[in-house]
Chain A
Amino acid sequence: MKSKLSVLSLFLIVVLLVAACAPAAAPAPAAPEAPAAAATEPAAEEAAPAAAAGDKTTLEFWHAMGGNLGETVQELVDRFNASQDQIFVNATFQGSYDDTYNALLASFESGGTPNIVQNFDLSSQTMIDTGKLVPAWQLMEADGYDPETFIPAVRGYYSDENGMVSMAFNSSTPLLYYNADMFEAAGVTPPQGSLSFSEFKAMCDELKAANVAPYCFTFGQVGWEFEQMLANSGGLFFNENNGRTGRPTEVQFNNEKGVEVFEFLTSLVTEGYSPNLNNTWTDTDSTFLTQQAAIEFDSTSDVSLIQNAEFTVGTAFIPHADSSERNGVALGGAALWLLDSGDEALNRAAWEFIKFMAAPEQQKDWHMATGYFPVRADLMEDPELQTFWAENPNFATAIEQLTTTNTTLADGSTNYAVLGGRAGPFPAIRRIIVATYSRVLNDGLTPQEALDEAAEKANAELANYNAFFE
């Protein structure tokens, strides 16, 4: 009896409160507005900018650039806002690539989806599958924008069968950073071009013999170096031509090439060339910058940061498997994706913004401030950049590495290895690879066994994802 009564009364209270709140909330904003508008005639001058801001189209832009990169993004956004008086872009930092991607996916259910989002390379397939995009090619066609503006690798990476699905913005490739002072002290020639795995180790042996640093090489077990060295060795990550000609159903990274790459990466640790830094990026930088290692694997986006080191920094291409020639690298970084707001005018405004971000002026400044390379083909011949690269050769390495990538095989067919993998659950599969390092380093599995195990898990991820499209 008592409990029934209390439940009933609780229910009543809730209903009453909800009822009391709901109508109160609706008129509340409207009520003060009317008298304010009437009463503020003397203050009209103050009100004017506010009113103008109200007329503007406001766009929500989510990005994943923290620290100095984030500041540069905000500068570019401010420049856009100042360049015209129709559109106001509100940029918000959402955390890491993973965070931004997950915040976006959550927003599809909870609302508050932004108009433009910066999403990383691996998310491409899921982004297409959301069905909530305005593909960039549609807007390009409508606007007469030539996709040939972009360098081929960039265009290829972000294209499906219709054309570019998103707008290239911050593209990167991995680099080897080396401590030039150490190489000089050891009397070792710094790496030229892309070394093979055994050439790389031979170079490490020379450095070790000269005793210039406790470690030769430093890298975090983050998945990217496996993907990139696999591409550089001509190996495929997924079937269906790396997921480029159809939805992949199986991974292929546990084939010979993958095993060779994984063997190399894990042996660097087991043979004492590299410290075991677990799954981190940051400890990699601290190891290199404190001169505990002679060479580091990192993205070109950190050139401007790493160049500030208290020693001379050089850059080089990433190595490749002994069993193959150098193929080149797949594109990294992120792109700007336009989400359909259902409002034609908003979508057009968003297109104006992403077009602005890919314009020569912005791409040039973005490149020089960060190290992400300019995505436009016409900038490769830009005189200002030519001078900049002559003075700062480290900025040019990534571009050279990408433009010299073999996009076609000897028989004239597309080199899908360097186009980069595409699959819905790629972010999850990358994490599987990250965890696989420990199976070799801690549990003593052979690289083949560890990769086979990872492949089984990855295939389950693919099957689970593909089931939504049957």
Chain B
Amino acid sequence: MAQSTLDGPTAARSTVKARKRVWPTLEAYLYLAPTLIGLLIFVFIPIFTSFQLSLNRIAPFGNQTRFVGLDNYVTLLTSADYWDTVRITFLFVLGTVPTGIALAVALAILLSYPVGRMAWFYRALIFVPVIISSAVTGVLFRWLYHPVVGYLSYWMVQLGIFENMQQAPNWLGSKEWALVAVIIATAWRQLGFNVIIALAGVQNIDESFYDAAKVDGAGILQRIRHITLPLLSPTLFFLLVINVIYSFQAFGEINILTQGGPGRATTTMVYSIFETAFVGTPQRGLASAQAYILAVMVISMSFINFATASRRVHYQ
């Protein structure tokens, strides 16, 4: 090092500069390498393979493919059944996301009040569904929804809402209720996560704002409307983005509760991909095309979220 300074100060300075520039980048990538390689193998390479697959019809036993160009996409976009899954997916997202976030914020505000020694208990109570796997949630709700021996209808009858089990809604068997039933189960499991995030946001708000508002004579609803919600907006925005993506990808509950039925009433885009690729007679090319359409849709939804909702976010 010392010698090189003697040889030519200007040249040396530039190499050192260059090395200073290259090495940190290289070093950073070295640290990142384990993750990047994992991502490469499990995410990036499959993204390309799956695009290639989407241009082919593939025999169920895999060893025979026919190149069909964009035919899979054409088939999907001209199929009434496929547009129906798109419609159902949007209904599902609309059903889970706003209700989920609204409930979470309400619970978070309630939980942020000092509830004494039992605070940890209530928080745990609400968080428990998150750590339960979606399969278990599915089985649990299946028992609640059972049309003949289900608890939900049973209690509705006991409470006098319906005369007998036959008159209570057939949660999973009727087209009108099946989507609602699946939305309830999914929102229930996601609720705990949303509450924890919202609670952190609520607790982050400086007490002095409330004190000032109280001095000005603001009531509790006014305080929530003018202080809590605006200051919570970064958290709400985060929840919105995460929940939209999560709902687009919901699978476990649907698979256990309805398997996309009755008919196709709960076949969302993700479930349709699974069904096409892995159930019955698999058509992996068609499924890959569906995956691409879904990806484009989720990405554009996220862009729309950022473009519209983020303007309303108020950072402290």
Contacts and interface: CB of A to CB of B under 8 A. Distances in A.
A370 B309 CA distance: 59
Given A214-B165, A428-B280, A10 B29 contact: yes
B173 A465 contact: no
B203 to A, nearest CB: 39
Contacts of B174: 276, 442
Contact of A438 (B57, B165, B265): B265
Contacts of A174: none
Interface string B168-192: 0010111100100000000000000
Interface centre among A425, A434, A438 (most CB of B within 10 A): A438
Contacts of A129: 59, 61
A44 interface: no
A201 interface: no
A108 B63 contact: yes
Interface stretch (B1-9, B126-134, B256-264, B295-303): B256-264
Interface in A381-438: 424-431, 434-438
A468 B175 CA distance: 36
Interface string B137-178: 000001000111100000000000000111000101111001
A292 B147 CA distance: 11
Given A278-B173, A438-B175, A286 B149 contact: yes
B280 A278 contact: no
Contact of A276 (B57, B59, B147, B165): B147
A192 interface: no
Interface in A109-157: 109, 126, 129-132
Contacts of A9: 22, 25-26, 29
Contact of A424 (B66, B147, B259, B281): B281
B262 A6 contact: no
Contacts of B170: 275-276
Nearest to A288: B148
Interface in A167-215: 214-215
Prevailing SS type, chain B contact patch: loop
Given A14-B36, A424-B60, A467-B66, A105 B146 contact: no
Contacts of A275: 147-148, 170, 173
A464 B283 contact: yes
A200 B149 CA distance: 25
Interface in B253-304: 258-265, 275, 278-283
B279 A461 contact: no
Given A14-B40, A276-B170, A434 B261 contact: yes
The 6 closest A-B pairs by CB, nearest first: A438-B263, A276-B173, A428-B281, A428-B280, A438-B262, A442-B175
Interface of B: 22, 25-26, 29-30, 33, 36-37, 40, 57, 59-64, 66, 142, 146-149, 164-166, 170, 172-175, 178, 258-265, 275, 278-283
8 contacts: A5-B25, A13-B30, A102-B279, A277-B148, A290-B149, A427-B280, A430-B280, A441-B262
